[in-house]
A and B are shown apart, each in its own frame.
Chain A
């Protein structure tokens, strides 16, 4: 990416949503506990196709990377994740409903 041609620097900024802050916190806490390193986080981000930078937001790319690192590290299985994601989706249609009490 460094050195590629690109347009003007975007000047918009936004306040982070709570789910984004939680992704950030999970990265820091899991790294502190030795479940992956910052290099591991970056490896998955760098392996992503460039299109992901247009189609996904920053913390969306991060949760993908955190997930891949945790599965590779054996923290949980893909089956456990699938079951938990179904359970989450069944709670409701909004983040507020699905995130529980």
Chain B
């Protein structure tokens, strides 16, 4: 750190959050202005904004991992997930909002990968906010043109016998990948299986962790 902020207090006497003490940008100024106008016009309250941030912060890839582990162990659930991803995840208590969730399954001969070429659509209500690379120009441009080389950058090298299918998300349709269940995991329970499911494996840029011997 270039200097220490411990003595740097806001007018309210509280220390600044680390990201609050840099020079105000034009766009931050606009965010504050819009937020205050919306509160003054009683469209939202400050508490609702804080609540929405807390809800979003609480979502994480662990939610998606629980869905995958259930799909691996419960054939009836897997059927419901295939038929209606939104309803099946809601049944597990996840609030996925109005979006249509489509689960796509990886097999020995098929690998699915998800992108949003237009913007950054992502199953955010199931996995939390997308990683920065998912929103990057490079990922969005190249995944539809050369998915195998993009996957290789993530360390996923697939034989030619495996078909790669790229799914382009839309505002209303979000995809989640059900990675292939690793070999040798027959004896594991749902919670142990969920630990093998990474965020990237549910985007398709990774595989589920294999079992450590």
Say whether A and B bind each other.
yes
Spell out A's residues near B (CB within 8 Å). Answer: 1-14, 16-19, 21-26, 28-30, 33, 35, 37-39, 41-42, 45-46, 53, 56, 58-60, 63-64, 66-67, 70, 75-76, 80-81, 84-85, 87-89, 92-101
Instruction: Give the residues in chain A near B4, CB-CB below 8 Å.
Output: none
Query: Does B108 count as interface, using CB distance less than 8 angstroms?
Result: no
**Residues of B participating in the A interface, judged by any CB pair closer than 8 Å:** 10-12, 16-17, 19-25, 27-38, 41, 43-44, 48-49, 52-53, 56-57, 115, 117-121, 129, 131-133, 135-145, 150, 153-154, 168, 171-172
Chain B residues closer than 8 Å to A97, beta-carbon distance: 10-11, 24
Which A residue's beta carbon lies closest to that of B19?
Answer: A17
Bound: A95/B25 CA distance, A: 8
Give the number of A-B contacts (CB < 8 Å).
188
Give 15 new A-B contacts, CB below 8 A, not counting A2-B141, A26-B35, A45-B119: A1-B117, A2-B115, A2-B145, A5-B141, A8-B153, A10-B133, A18-B19, A22-B35, A29-B43, A58-B132, A63-B27, A70-B34, A76-B41, A93-B24, A100-B36
Most A Cβ at <10 Å: residue of B17, B44, B139, B143: B44
Chain A contact residues: over half helix, strand or loop, or mixed? helix
Interface contact B44-A94, CB-CB below 8 Å? no
Residues of A within 8 A of B21 (CB): 94-96
The 8 Å CB contact of B132, one of A10, A35, A98, is A10
Name the contact of A84 in the complex, choosing from B37, B142, B144 (C-beta under 8 A).
Answer: B37
